[in-house]
Structures are given as structure tokens and as C-alpha cells.
Chains A and B, each alone.
Chain A
Amino acid sequence: MIRYTLKRLLSLILSLAVASLVIFFVIEVAPGDPASFMLGLNAQPDTVAALRAELGLDQSQFGRYLSWVTGMMHGDFGTSYTYRTPVAGMISDRLWVSLPLALYALILSTLIAFPAGIYAAARRGKTGDMAVMGATQLGVAVPNFWFAMMLVVIFAINLRWFNAGGFAGWDKGLLAGLHSLTLPAISLALPQAAILARVMRSALLDILGEDFMRTARAKGLSRRQALWRHGLRNAMIPVLTIIGLQFSFLLAGAIIIEQVFYLPGLGRLVFQAISARDLIVVESVVMLLVLAVITVNFLVDLAYALVDPRLRSRT
């Protein structure tokens, strides 16, 4: 298990190094010079050159890459070209919205999907299964911003249980913060839950056909006992994979939902930074998301090994 963990950790570090190179150089070759963009169309060439020097854009690409990476290791993400404030601060403010939102949505999605998937698998082909499958079909098909708008109409405008948008801030207390994230989290969670429930169901159905499930029944376990004791843990590998992918998506892919609810999240920050050619912000946020994705994958790998002893011994 220790060797397995070390191996995964090594692969995590290598992936990060490769990702940082790719991110930096891909964004560098994108057209548009931040300095001339900031100064507008009528700027004098020497003004642009001065600004380029100030921003460090006149250094060699590799030199800028090195200072970017070493800076990040010290928590210095550089200074935003457009806002002239440290990127680290901008990101951490936004992260305090996006990360809790992603976790909140993931927990909701899991809480909906697990019971739904297990229920459907246990009643395969019966009415309950068909109802759950129909609902998930809908959940997969309907875009999350439509859910978001419906939730706003019902719970914010009509029932007035929630605000239609904005973020209260954590300084108002945990509950107030969670309260303002609830509708966005639900609208993010519903489509994810639909996917996860379907994965859970099909993973369980695969397992239910396995020989060892028949063995369990021959020992005297009821259908339900066999499902819980022997089915669930074996079905977890595909489910964990999907949960890992969903978390990465929820962290980075919430742009539209953040827009609908006026949330100051990472998605909106990246969107604004791209429009303004604020390369240093884009690079840093993308790097951060890559870090998050790779870390989540690392955790998922560890979870695999906890679930399946065969992976532990394979190193």
C-alpha cells in the first residue's frame, strides 16, 4: 500500500510538471499581446514596450516560465495585468466560493445518486427502476442553467426562501454562506446526480450477475443483504471514477451557474481574464485547476486501493 501510494505520488508530481509546461506555452502562443491590449489601439509603440518591460514580457519565454513556476511554489502567482493586484489574493477569494460550491454540489449529487442507483438496481425492470431511469434521463438531458432558472423562479421569486443571486460571504457565518450556495449547488448537482445514479445502477447490475453474488445467496443471504454486503463495494470502482471526474468538472465548469447566480467564483474570474488577455491570471487559475484535478485523481486512486485489495498488491 505504501509503495502504491508513493508511486501515485510520483506520477502526480510528474503530471503537474508536464501540465505546467503545456499550460504556459499553449497560452503563450495564443494571439494577442497583453500590453497592447491594456493600452488600447492608439498606444504609442514605446509606451507598449515600456509596459512590456514592466510586466516582464520582454524576457525569454523559458525565463518567464521558470519565474512563474518558482513564484507559484512560494505562493506568488504574479500580478494581474489588468487589475494590478496579486493574482494569489484574487484566486484565494474566488476559491473560497468555488471550492465549497463544488463540494456542496458533489455531496448533494452523491446523496441523491447512491440511493437512486441502488434502488433502481435492486428493482431492475420494475416500475421503480423505470421511474428512476426516466428521471435520470431527464436530468442528463436538461441543461443545468435551466434547472438554475427554474429554482430561482420557484424558490427565490415565488417562495422567497433563498436569494436569487449573490454570495453572502463566509464572514456572515457558515449557515448564511451555505444558504446562498444552496440553489447553485442543487442546479449543479442534479445533472451530475443523474449521471452518477445511472453509473451506480449499471455497475451494481454488472456485479449482481457475478458468480460471487450467487455464492452469497447460497450461503443464506437475502437479496438485499447480498447487495449491501457484497455488491456495493465491488461496484464502487466505476462510481469513484465518475465522482472524481465530476468534482473536477464542478470546480472548473461552474461558469454558467456562477453567471446565473452572480457568484464571484473561479469560473467567472477565468472568463473575465480570458476576455481581457490577462494571461498571468488565466495561467494561474488553469494551473490551480489542473492541480485540483490531479489531486482528486490521486485521491481516487487511493480510494480504489482501499476498495479493492488486488490493486494494493499489484503496486
Chain B
Amino acid sequence: MSLLDIRNLSLTIAGLPILQDVSLSVAPGEIVAVTGESGSGKSMTALAVMQLLPDLAQTRGTITLDGTNLMEQSETQMCALRGASIGMVFQEPMTALNPVKTIGDQVMETILIHKAMPPAEARQHAQDTLTRVGLPADRFPLSRFPHELSGGQRQRVVIAMAIALRPKLLIADEPTTALDVTTQAQILALLKDLVQDYGMGLLMITHDLAVVADLADKIVVMRHGEVVETGPTQGLIANMQHPYTRMLFAASNHQVVLPPAPAPKPLLQVKSAVRDYRLPRTSLFGAPGHYRAVKDVSFTLNRGERLGLVGESGCGKSTLTRAILGLEPLQGGEILLDGHPVTTAKDADLRRKMQVVFQDPFGSFNPRHRVDRLITEPFYLLEQPPKGTARSDLIAETLTAVGLSSDDARKYIHQFSGGQRQRIAIARALITRPELILFDEAVSALDVSVRAQILDLLVELCEAYSLTYLFISHDLNVVRTITDRVLVMKAGEIVEQGETEAVFSDPQHPYTRSLLAAAPKLPELNMGTVVA
């Protein structure tokens, strides 16, 4: 008999249909992964099980946990079940903990709120649970506050809170999406262990098919609030029935073929770059300390070359990016673009040669400007910006180049989807024909199908404009296909660089090896459409 049984669950929020006839089940000790792109309803399914839906939500169908229909429980009865019979782990460990309470108090709260044991015992149990999730008391006393822990450690605390009372069902909503690959691998291993040890059912929500394939016993694929396909992991991957499932796996593993790069001729030269940050003084009159975020980094980016920069959070890739853009000063070494030094001084000519595309397609545009104004912003860098028909022709040409239509010029940014917005961001970077474009995690926030389209677009643009770019990303699969050469950064240093394929297939540095080993791998697909 299954532990969790969702039957014909339908959900509307303020009349808007969100879920339609969703059915799935989780057995004790089983890991079921619900996957799909944003808006597919996977998180709402999880929240429906917790009965923590938004106020205007209306549901139909049944959700049975161990024989109890959760849809018929009163709020008080649900409070007794949440935390005790169902635990939940969320995506964003940085904000999932209360910043003003100690980790010990927060783990103990799960126990005390359900009156499971007296306070002294609860304290010991909280300690034991934290030790179980990899936070031993000698290094992580109960009196620690969340801000004293890293993202991965915080996620362990969240997991400890969720499993403190050994719930029968654990729901994990994108538990590793905000974490680095090596941390992700550790957290996934922990979840897997816990499921085995405790015989819990795990309902795992994730968009990452590589994680799904690695971890899950069963896969549920969702689209537009409906389950399109479900089945045991191996069987489903070997024999995908629904075209959407096939598209999803193909897009996740999307490979592109870059046009050959021209003969090496240096465009960007970074020579022994050093970037120090001042730390707060430790004593009132003592000298302030320094934190070296970028340590003696040197590399050359040739004209027409596509260079990748990979590394985990905090490795200095963003700092290096800002230094290359001339947004932050260097404390040593120099950066040359086309032979001219890059400094923080105002230099329109230099700025025109470099443009950047950021990660967040929602936050990087002024919502009150129309697209034509948004993408022509870099024109202020030009001595003689095009006017009249020359301007509108250039706007139309650029929009067409990124796969949009010239009619889109008069629209506002909220009228576009995330993928279209990223196309507009690329149009903005492209319109002054810069020598160099920096893509700073530019496809990381996109759904896999959209990401595949943007990668294709980059290849088209490389063919049409022979782009030179620096592609900064934590996503190794993407970097592998979209760059010619790659730099691996760790703790402010470039630990390895070389031809992308060579670095990936035969990594020399132990850190590169550990990165590649930790990254979850997509299964070899046998669909004919994918080059695995």
C-alpha cells in the first residue's frame, strides 16, 4: 500500500486553473521525483500535500497519507500532521531559517511544538538530529545562528528540522537548486541515506533531470498542471512515451556545434590581476584586514574565441567579471582590452567594446521603458548614435537577429516570457556591435527548453557576427557545449585552463576532477535525436 496517494487533484487559485487531475503515489522508502518546467505545477502539488496553499486556492480530489485524507483534515489536525508526519525542505536555504533564532532552537521547535518530548530530551534529540545530518555538536553547537553557516550547512539544518520527528513522508522542493555542485552531491547523498535509514517516502520536486535520473525510483513528469508521464526511472528513461518528456530530456542535454574560431589574436588580456576587499577592522585602531578575492589571475581571450569560466560560488568569478567590465579597481596586475587598459575611469569608447548579459531576465530591465529604448541604452556610448530610420532599422535588425520581431520594439518588458527577455538582453548587448560580450550566468535561470533555444541563438550569432565572449557559469554541461576553451576557478585562482573538451574529458587538477565527479549526469539517451 502506498504511503502518499494523490488522486485526481485539481487546483484553482482565484479561478485560475493550476492543477488538473494530478495523480501520483509514493511508497514507504521510495523516492519519487516530480519534474517539469516552471509553471508546471510541481511546487503547488507539494504545497497541496502540506495544505499550505495560498488563501484563494480551491482544491478537488483526494490526498491520502497513510489512510488519512488530508483534504478533509481541519487546520488544527493539519498542524499536528505537519512536521510530525510530513516534513518539508525548501529551495532557498539562505532564507528558510529564522535569522534571529539559534539553529538549536529551530530544530527543537519541531519537537516541542508537537509535544513529542520534554525540553531537556528535545535538546538532546535536536543535537543528535543535527549530528545525523552532518553537523556534529563540537563544530556546530546548538547556539549557532543561521548567518554563521554556509548555504549547504543551512540546508542541513532545514533537513534536520524536517526529519527531527522522523516523518513518514519528506517533501523536498528543489532542495539543491541553490547549492554548488559539490554541496548538491552531499545533500542528495544525505537525503538518499535518510530515506533508507528511516524508511521515509521522499517526494522530490526538481527541474534538474540529471538529479532526477541519479536519485529517483520513480519519475512524474508534469506540464501545465497535468501529469504527462509517470513510471519507474530506468523504464521511463529507456522508453519515453510522451513527446514532452522526450523534448525535456533532449533539451537538458542540448548540444550545439560552434563555428570554428579564427586564428588566435588577443582581444582581452588579463595579466596577474589581483582584487582585494577590505575587511572590517578587528580592533578599533588596528589596520583593516584584506580578503583577496582574485589572486594573480592571468589569461588571454582571443578575438572570435568563446571562453568559459567555471567555479563554485565564492570562487571569485563574479569579482573577476566586474573587474573585466571596469566596474571595480584592481590592486595589482592589469587588464587590457584590444591593447587598451581597462580602468574604472569613465571611458565611453572602452565601454562600448564590452557588453554584458546578466542572469536575471526579470530584474535587469526598467519595467517602464519600451523595448526599443531598453535595447538602445548603450547608444549613449556612441559619439554619433544612429537617428531616425537608421535607428529603427538597427533596432529591427537586432531584434530579428535574436529571434524576435521588429513589432516587439514598442512593447513593454512585462509582455515577454523569461526566454524572450533574455533575448532582449542579448539584443541590448549586441546593438553596439561590441568586441566582447560577457554572459554572467545568462542561461542559469531559464527552463531547459528555453535554455536550449538560447544556446542555439548564441551559435547563430557566432556565425553571423563572429562573437567573442566570456561565458561565466556554474553549469558544467552548458559550458562544455558553448565554449572553445575553459578556465576553472577556485578560491580566487585559475587552477586549470585549456581546450574545453580536453579539460572535461581529461581533467588534470584534482579540483576540476571533483567538480566533474560531483555534477549529476544525464543518462545516455537512446532517442536518435540527441548526441549524448
**What residues make up the interface of A, taking CB atoms closer than 8 Å to B?**
3, 6-7, 10, 210-212, 214-222, 225, 229-230, 233-234, 307-310, 313-315
Whether the Cβ atoms of A222 and B161 lie closer than 8 Å is no
Whether the Cβ atoms of A307 and B96 lie closer than 8 Å is no
User: A220-B114, A314-B280 are known contacts. Are A215 and B147 too (CB-CB below 8 A)?
Assistant: no
User: A212-B99, A215-B96, A220-B113 are known contacts. Are A309 and B82 too (CB-CB below 8 A)?
Assistant: no
**What residues make up the interface of B, taking CB atoms closer than 8 Å to A?**
50, 52, 75-76, 79-84, 87-88, 90, 92, 95-101, 109-110, 113-114, 145, 147-148, 158, 161-162, 280, 284
Q: What residues of A have a CB within 8 angstroms of the CB of B101 in the complex?
A: 230
Whether the Cβ atoms of A218 and B83 lie closer than 8 Å is yes
Q: What residues of B have a CB within 8 angstroms of the CB of A3 in the complex?
A: 284
Distance between Cα atoms of A267 and B81 in the complex (Å): 59
Whether the Cβ atoms of A210 and B95 lie closer than 8 Å is yes
Whether the Cβ atoms of B145 and A222 lie closer than 8 Å is no
Whether the Cβ atoms of B109 and A233 lie closer than 8 Å is no
Whether the Cβ atoms of A219 and B113 lie closer than 8 Å is yes
Q: What residues of A have a CB within 8 angstroms of the CB of B158 in the complex?
A: 215
Distance between Cα atoms of A234 and B146 in the complex (Å): 14
Give the contacting residue for B161; candidates A6, A219, A229, A233; CB below 8 A. A219
User: Which of A10, A218, A233 has most chain B Cβ within 10 Å?
Assistant: A218
Whether the Cβ atoms of A211 and B96 lie closer than 8 Å is yes
Q: What residues of B have a CB within 8 angstroms of the CB of A233 in the complex?
A: 100
Q: What residues of B have a CB within 8 angstroms of the CB of A211 in the complex?
A: 90, 92, 95-96
Whether the Cβ atoms of A212 and B95 lie closer than 8 Å is yes
**Which residue in chain A gives the minimum CB-CB distance to B109?**
A219
Distance between Cα atoms of A310 and B144 in the complex (Å): 11
Q: What residues of A have a CB within 8 angstroms of the CB of B114 in the complex?
A: 220
Least CB distance from B63 to A in Å reads 16
**Which residue in chain A gives the minimum CB-CB distance to B110?**
A219
Give the contacting residue for B109; candidates A7, A210, A214, A229; CB below 8 A. A229
Q: What residues of B have a CB within 8 angstroms of the CB of A10 in the complex?
A: 284
Ordered by A's residue number, 17 sampled pairs between the chains whose C-beta atoms are within 8 Å are A7-B284, A214-B90, A216-B98, A216-B109, A217-B50, A217-B52, A219-B109, A219-B110, A220-B80, A220-B83, A220-B114, A222-B75, A307-B100, A309-B99, A309-B145, A309-B147, A313-B145
Distance between Cα atoms of A10 and B281 in the complex (Å): 15
**Which residue in chain A gives the minimum CB-CB distance to B91?**
A211
**Which residue in chain A gives the minimum CB-CB distance to B76?**
A222
Whether the Cβ atoms of B81 and A220 lie closer than 8 Å is yes
Distance between Cα atoms of A214 and B95 in the complex (Å): 10
**Which residue in chain A gives the minimum CB-CB distance to B85?**
A220
Distance between Cα atoms of A234 and B95 in the complex (Å): 13
Distance between Cα atoms of A310 and B94 in the complex (Å): 13
Besides the known contacts A211-B96, A222-B76, 18 further A-B residue pairs in the complex with CB atoms under 8 A apart: A211-B95, A214-B52, A214-B90, A215-B88, A215-B97, A219-B82, A219-B109, A220-B79, A220-B82, A220-B110, A221-B83, A221-B113, A230-B101, A234-B100, A309-B99, A309-B145, A310-B147, A313-B147
Distance between Cα atoms of A315 and B147 in the complex (Å): 14
User: A214-B52, A221-B79 are known contacts. Are A309 and B100 too (CB-CB below 8 A)?
Assistant: yes
**Which residue in chain B gives the minimum CB-CB distance to A124?**
B55
**Which residue in chain A gives the minimum CB-CB distance to B162?**
A218
**5 tightest Cβ-Cβ pairs between the two chains A and B:** A220-B83, A219-B83, A211-B95, A218-B88, A220-B82
Least CB distance from A221 to B in Å reads 6
User: A225-B113, A233-B100, A308-B100 are known contacts. Are A218 and B52 too (CB-CB below 8 A)?
Assistant: yes
Q: What residues of A have a CB within 8 angstroms of the CB of B84 in the complex?
A: 220
Give the contacting residue for B99; candidates A216, A219, A234; CB below 8 A. A234
Q: What residues of B have a CB within 8 angstroms of the CB of A307 in the complex?
A: 100
**Which residue in chain B gives the minimum CB-CB distance to A218?**
B88
Distance between Cα atoms of A314 and B145 in the complex (Å): 13
Q: What residues of A have a CB within 8 angstroms of the CB of B81 in the complex?
A: 220
Give the contacting residue for B145; candidates A217, A229, A310, A315; CB below 8 A. A310
User: Which of B81, B113, B114 has most chain A Cβ within 10 Å?
Assistant: B113
Distance between Cα atoms of A220 and B96 in the complex (Å): 15
Whether the Cβ atoms of A313 and B148 lie closer than 8 Å is yes
Q: What residues of A have a CB within 8 angstroms of the CB of B284 in the complex?
A: 3, 6-7, 10
**Which residue in chain A gives the minimum CB-CB distance to B84?**
A220
Distance between Cα atoms of A212 and B88 in the complex (Å): 12
User: Which of A7, A219, A233, A314 has most chain B Cβ within 10 Å?
Assistant: A219
Whether the Cβ atoms of A212 and B83 lie closer than 8 Å is no
User: A211-B90, A222-B75, A313-B148 are known contacts. Are A217 and B82 too (CB-CB below 8 A)?
Assistant: yes
Least CB distance from A47 to B in Å reads 54
**Which residue in chain B gives the minimum CB-CB distance to A7?**
B284
Distance between Cα atoms of A219 and B160 in the complex (Å): 11
Q: What residues of A have a CB within 8 angstroms of the CB of B82 in the complex?
A: 217-220
Whether the Cβ atoms of B97 and A212 lie closer than 8 Å is yes
Distance between Cα atoms of A198 and B335 in the complex (Å): 52
Whether the Cβ atoms of A212 and B96 lie closer than 8 Å is yes
**Which residue in chain A gives the minimum CB-CB distance to B75?**
A222
Whether the Cβ atoms of B50 and A218 lie closer than 8 Å is yes
Distance between Cα atoms of A216 and B88 in the complex (Å): 10
Least CB distance from A59 to B in Å reads 37
Distance between Cα atoms of A3 and B90 in the complex (Å): 36
User: A234-B99, A308-B99, A313-B148 are known contacts. Are A218 and B79 too (CB-CB below 8 A)?
Assistant: no
Q: What residues of B have a CB within 8 angstroms of the CB of A234 in the complex?
A: 98-100
Q: What residues of A have a CB within 8 angstroms of the CB of B113 in the complex?
A: 219-221, 225
**Which residue in chain B gives the minimum CB-CB distance to A211?**
B95
Whether the Cβ atoms of A230 and B145 lie closer than 8 Å is no
Least CB distance from A207 to B in Å reads 10
Distance between Cα atoms of A137 and B375 in the complex (Å): 43
Least CB distance from B93 to A in Å reads 9
**Which residue in chain B gives the minimum CB-CB distance to A312?**
B145
Q: What residues of A have a CB within 8 angstroms of the CB of B145 in the complex?
A: 309-310, 313
Q: What residues of A have a CB within 8 angstroms of the CB of B52 in the complex?
A: 214, 217-218
Distance between Cα atoms of A129 and B161 in the complex (Å): 33
Q: What residues of B have a CB within 8 angstroms of the CB of A210 in the complex?
A: 95
Distance between Cα atoms of A198 and B81 in the complex (Å): 35
Q: What residues of A have a CB within 8 angstroms of the CB of B80 in the complex?
A: 220
Least CB distance from A304 to B in Å reads 11
Distance between Cα atoms of A234 and B98 in the complex (Å): 8
Whether the Cβ atoms of A310 and B99 lie closer than 8 Å is yes
Q: What residues of A have a CB within 8 angstroms of the CB of B147 in the complex?
A: 309-310, 313
Least CB distance from A294 to B in Å reads 20
Distance between Cα atoms of A308 and B81 in the complex (Å): 31
Whether the Cβ atoms of A218 and B87 lie closer than 8 Å is yes
**Which residue in chain A gives the minimum CB-CB distance to B87?**
A218
Least CB distance from B140 to A in Å reads 15
Least CB distance from B43 to A in Å reads 11
Q: What residues of B have a CB within 8 angstroms of the CB of A218 in the complex?
A: 50, 52, 82-83, 87-88, 90, 162
Least CB distance from B226 to A in Å reads 25
Least CB distance from A3 to B in Å reads 8
**Which residue in chain B gives the minimum CB-CB distance to A230?**
B98
Distance between Cα atoms of A39 and B327 in the complex (Å): 65
**Which residue in chain A gives the minimum CB-CB distance to B52?**
A217
Distance between Cα atoms of A220 and B162 in the complex (Å): 10
Distance between Cα atoms of A307 and B100 in the complex (Å): 7
Q: What residues of B have a CB within 8 angstroms of the CB of A212 in the complex?
A: 95-99
User: Which of B75, B76, B87, B110 has most chain A Cβ within 10 Å?
Assistant: B110
Q: What residues of B have a CB within 8 angstroms of the CB of A216 in the complex?
A: 98, 109
Whether the Cβ atoms of B90 and A215 lie closer than 8 Å is yes
**Which residue in chain A gives the minimum CB-CB distance to B148?**
A313
Least CB distance from B421 to A in Å reads 24
Distance between Cα atoms of A225 and B98 in the complex (Å): 14
**Which residue in chain A gives the minimum CB-CB distance to B47?**
A214
Least CB distance from B425 to A in Å reads 27
